[in-house]
Chain A
Amino acid sequence: MDERDAYGQEQHDHRRFVARVVLSLVLLAAVLGLIGWHTASLQVGAHEHYTTLSENNRLRIEPIAPSRGVIRDRNGVLLAGNRASYQLEVTVEQADDLDRLLERLEDFVELSDADLERFRRGVEQRRPFQPVLLKAGLDDETVAHLAVSRHELPGVEIEARPMRYYPAGEAFTHVVGYVGRITREDLQRVDQRAYAGVSHIGKTGIEQHYEELLHGRPGHRQVEVNAQGRTIRELEVSPPTAGTDIHLTLDYNLQLAARRALGDQRGAIVAIEPASGDVLAMVSAPGFDAEPFVKGQSQEEFSALRDHPGRPLFNRVLHGQYPPGSTIKPIVALAGLHEEATTADREMFARGYYQIPGHERRYRDWRREGHGLVDMSRAIAVSSDVYFYDLAHDMGIDRITPMLEAFGIGEPTGIDLSGERTGIRPGRDWKRATHGTVWYPGETLITAIGQGYMLSTPLQMADFTTTLANRGERVSPRLLRAMGDGREQEIGETLLPDYRQPVALDEAHWDVIHESLVEAVHEPHGTAWGGVGSTRPEYTIAGKTGTSQVFSLGEDEEYDEDELARHLWDHALFTGYAPADNPQIAVAVLVEHGGSGGRVAAPKAREVMDAWLLGGGGMRLPVEEAGE
């Protein structure tokens, strides 16, 4: 194409463009004409009709909040319910003088700065004639006083609204969670229409995790209002759909027993039914009362709770990560047997310390005089550190880490709660990735006794104890047992357990571990003998004590509780299951800075096991087994 053709083509394209532009303008004019005509027909033609609608038939749609599903324990005991709460509301348009009204109301109720601030915000955002919340959770006396004086207080209304409450108390707050006022951030996440007319949303625990199930769907009410916007009558109602009731796997009595066992100590207890993965009890102590979070609390009240030295808001079960200490030894022993690094019968002389051949450094045993001649069973029962140092040194970290992984160390358990921590499963790759350095042989030794880098949550400890009880079969711990059909205390079909990749090992290996765990509790040389075995429980317990170091001692120093500040005391641990040959319950106990696992943690596990196997609503344990 030469220059002139190109120019001609360009001219041609330009003309075509202009033609299309003119056509577009004509079309646009036509469309605007149509819109104009249509608008004229609305505004001029049907003006009378619409004026009538606007004047007389003012329809308004009001949302009706759904009632939230209740939460019950496995036997139908109410853990979270709804009850009417009286609240004081003000319709600003009807108050003659808002400031004077507020002043007068001070005689009846105490109005905090937070109340007033929320009220002012509400006033700004309200629709005309919409009542604005001033104070929630009025007591009966105040309601009575206000009701009597209402005629002197124009614009004041007392409304009964459903309010979440938690009758089971602070032992349940961490696991059940609570609802709180919907914040701007919450609204970003959810479908706003599904929360029309709803003031609260699940913030933590089960309340948060099963929010969608519990919430339900709001309904609508079509009302006719007068020229001032006041409701005259209701025209049409589409009722809300109530949220689903849910039943947890928790047992109310067992949870309280676990809470009692911890007393005023800080710690966590998790109990799991091995066959199903049902979490029977899950306690983090200290707990806290959920009510202020539902009703709203001042910044000072919240700060006091948050900064309390006991850290009550901290859910130790899910978020606390602790060295598992000696409770990890059965898993290391299984690794040794599976990898054929040792046999159950091989004996060694366990002194008070261990040295890597060719190295000076002494790795101390918790017992300075050592344990003498031990085989695997005895090494677990007496919790010989030296035996495991030696085994670990023979194996090397690369043959230990896979077994830790098989038991779920460093992995989420998959429980139906949000924010679970995974702990740390140390190994060569992990160290390179996080520290950028090589793995040292000495680190293998302390890993084998659950110290060093390894961290685990109390939930994980209960989880691997369940795996031990199940001889390798792994069920995911779970809290949701059934979804109710709305009828009182009726438990629907229970959900099926969720199985994970099992730990497939020789039956003989399981037998060894099992027996050594029984030995640890029921034989006089066992570490849990003094705390549990010597009192002759009515059933056989398989368990492992642990004492995890918070404070490192020098090679030659002696650990002495009396001389150390309490916050440097070791964490006391116990993991175990019972009855040993037919496990009904697996328990993990952690007591922060509790000291000795055998003396402090093991008896608490026993209390929980007693409550489940012997106490409560009748004997859960067949009588003939109980005598064993």
Chain B
Amino acid sequence: MISVTGRELSAGQWALRSLRMDGTLLILLSLLLMLGLVVLFSATGESLAALENQVLRIGFGVAAMLVIAQIPVRVLRLIAPWLFVAGLVLLVAVLFFGEIGKGARRWLDTGLVRFQPSEIMKLAVPMMTAWYLSLRQGAPRARDLAVVLPIILVPVWLIMEQPDLGTAMLVGVAGLLVVFLAGLSWRWFTGLGALVAAAAPVLWLQMHDYQRQRVLTLFNPESDPLGTGYHIIQSQIAIGSGGFYGKGWLNGTQSQLDFLPERSTDFIFAVYAEEFGFMGVLLLLALYFAIVARGLWLASLAQDRFARLLGGSISLTFAVYMVVNIGMVTGLLPVVGVPLPLVSYGGTSLVTLMVAFGILMSIASEKRLVNR
């Protein structure tokens, strides 16, 4: 088995070959992560401590990705329902025993580790949805939806109870993307759209005050210059004053003089846009697009429906994260607490994303084995 291409391979080369991963994706992700560190250093006021933290997290994330990539897809498929059930149990647990912080109950402290069960659902919901649809063939029909919609909406509802509107939305999107990729008829999407439109008033009544405030500020940021609107105004000033070429690394006055709130986390894109300008923005968007396109390419090569749907959903969810964050920071979308994927400071979202890319690499490797 050592002689694949007709010549003998050294043990090291063989080990490298048999490591399941996708080189192109790894390079693209590394570029993005490095760019992120560069921006982060500026956004944290040149804090070496923060940089060190983030490097550690990235190291952990990359390791997690490579480990996950070694798991065969059939194992992922096997554990999908169990992961989903475990996630549901933890979500219910968090509602009862979760730690409260900033008016929401999101964290579960097991004594050993402290984590947000809603993060598990970001992966468990698309996995479960893909698992179910891979048992079926053809475009999802009404009875499929009757199974799939509860799979998606129950976790979404539980997460909204915490309340964590941003994560709930992302989990819902990840699940719906699977259904979309499975080829759900357009009529259903029109119907769902109508349903959402009808449910909007009910949702509005269910929302917490701060969430309503965010929605209202979306339409008129200037109406609340001291509160939520301040974020948008200051971030637009930062972006706009960046110009075509930017003010240069570490030279963004908006960011450095602390006008920009949350500048190392949710609003880091504004720091980047101020210092690197429109050119930088185009580069970043291109990098994101390349990652998503590569992910979709790998997914569409997969022979297995579960792998295909999951891989496609992971890639597109990543795109949604990015669009929602950049849309929010530039003032196109409401302020929802979604970090800029792989760039914002913080570990939770980063590790979840890297695990997701690990799954994608596992899917990519599966394809390779079949083809050769």
Establish whether residues A54 and B103, one from each chain, have CB atoms under 8 Å apart when the complex forms.
no
With a CB–CB cut-off of 8 A, which chain A residues contact B112? none
A-B contact count (CB 8 A): 142
B296–A39 CB distance below 8 A: no
Q: Does A495 contact B (CB under 8 A)?
A: no
A35-B285, A43-B281 are contacts. A25–B240 as well, Cβ < 8 Å? no
Q: Which listed residue (A38, A43, A128) contacts B242, Cβ 8 A?
A: A43
Q: How many residues of B contact A (CB 8 A)?
A: 56
Chain B residues with Cβ below 8 Å from A505 are none
| Smallest CB separation, A1 vs chain B (Å) | 8
A60 interface residue, CB < 8 Å from B?
A: yes
Residues of B within 8 A of A32 (CB): 285, 288-289, 323
Q: Is there an interface contact between B278 and A24, defined as CB atoms closer than 8 Å?
A: no
- Decide: B308 and A47 in contact? CB cutoff 8 A: no
Is the CB–CB distance between B312 and A36 below 8 Å? no
**Residue interface bits B235-255, CB-to-A below 8 A is 1, else 0:** 011111111100000000110
A29 touches B258 (CB 8 A): no
State in angstroms the CA–CA spacing of A55 and B309 once bound together: 50
A13, A34, A59 — which one has the most chain B CB atoms within 10 A of its CB?
A13
Residues 54-110 of B at the A interface (beta carbon under 8 Å):
99-103
Assuming the A-B contacts A24-B316, A35-B330, are A47 and B241 also in contact, with contact meaning beta carbons closer than 8 angstroms in the complex? Answer: yes
Does any Cβ of A come within 8 Å of B211's Cβ?
no
A39 to B289, Cβ gap below 8 A? no
Which residues from B are CB-within-8-Å of A59?
Answer: 225, 234, 259
Picked from A14, A28, A50, A191, the residue with its CB within 8 Å of the CB of B319 is A28
A525, CB-defined interface residue at 8 Å: no
In the bound complex, do residue B305 and residue A49 qualify as a contact, i.e. CB atoms below 8 Å apart? no
Q: Residue B168 at the A interface, CB < 8 A? A: no
CB of B327 to closest CB in A, whole Å: 7
CA distance A32 to B180 in the complex (A): 20
Does more than half of chain B's interface fall in helix, strand or loop, or is it mixed?
helix
B240 touches A17 (CB 8 A): no
A16:B139 contact, CB within 8 angstroms:
yes
Tell me the minimal C-beta distance from B165 to chain A in angstroms: 17
List the A residue with the shortest CB-CB distance to B183.
A16
Count how many chain A residues have C-beta atoms less than 8 Å from C-beta atoms of the other chain. Answer: 52
Closest residue to A237 on the B side, CB-wise? B226
Contacting pair A54 B300 (CB below 8 A): no
Bound Cα distance from A42 to B181, whole angstroms: 34
Kindly provide the distance from the CB of A55 to the nearest chain B CB, expressed in whole angstroms. 8
Q: Complex formed: what's the CA distance from A53 to B277 in Å?
A: 17
In the complex, A38→B236 CA distance in Å?
11
Contact for A13 among B137, B242, B243, CB less than 8 A: B137
Quick one: CB contact mask for B316-327 with A, threshold 8 Å, 1 for yes? Answer: 100100010011
Interface check A46, CB cutoff 8 A: yes
Contacts A25-B293, A32-B289, A60-B259 given: A13-B305 contact, CB under 8 Å?
yes
Q: How would residues 148 to 180 of chain B score, 1 for a CB under 8 Å from any chain A CB and 0 otherwise?
A: 000000000000000000000000000000001
Once bound together, how far apart are the Cα atoms of A54 and B305, in whole Å?
52
Would A38 and B330 be within 8 Å (CB), given that A44-B243, A189-B100, A229-B257 are in contact?
yes
Q: Which residues of B contact A188 (CB under 8 A)?
A: 99, 101
Q: In the complex where A43-B281, A192-B102 touch, is A61 in contact with B289 (Cβ < 8 A)? A: no
Query: CA separation between A227 and B256, bound complex, in Å?
Result: 11
Given A10-B305, A29-B289, A220-B226: A43 and B103 within 8 A (CB)? no
A102-154: which have CB < 8 Å to B? 127-128
- The answer to whether A54 and B277 touch across the interface, beta carbons within 8 angstroms, is no
- B257 contacts which chain A residues (CB < 8 A)? 58, 128, 225, 229
Digit string of B288-314 for contact with A (CB within 8 Å is 1, else 0)? 110011001001100001001100100
Alpha-carbon separation in the docked complex, A10 to B323 (Å): 32
Report A-chain residues with C-beta under 8 Å of the C-beta of B182: 13, 17
Chain B CB within 8 A of A438 CB: no
B361 CB–A CB distance under 8 Å: no
Q: A355: CB under 8 A from chain B?
A: no
Distance of A104 Cα from B182 Cα, bound (Å)? 74
Q: A534 on the interface (CB 8 Å rule)?
A: no
> With A and B bound together, what is the CA distance between A192 and B139 in angstroms?
48
- Residues of chain B within 8 A of A42, CB atoms compared: 236, 239-240, 330
Check A428 for interface membership: any CB of B closer than 8 A. no
A13-B183, A35-B326 known; A50-B240 Cβ under 8 A: yes
Given A17-B312, A39-B330, A47-B138 contact (CB < 8 Å): no
Q: List 11 A-B contacts (CB under 8 A).
A: A9-B137, A13-B183, A16-B139, A29-B289, A35-B323, A35-B330, A42-B236, A47-B244, A60-B259, A189-B100, A227-B253
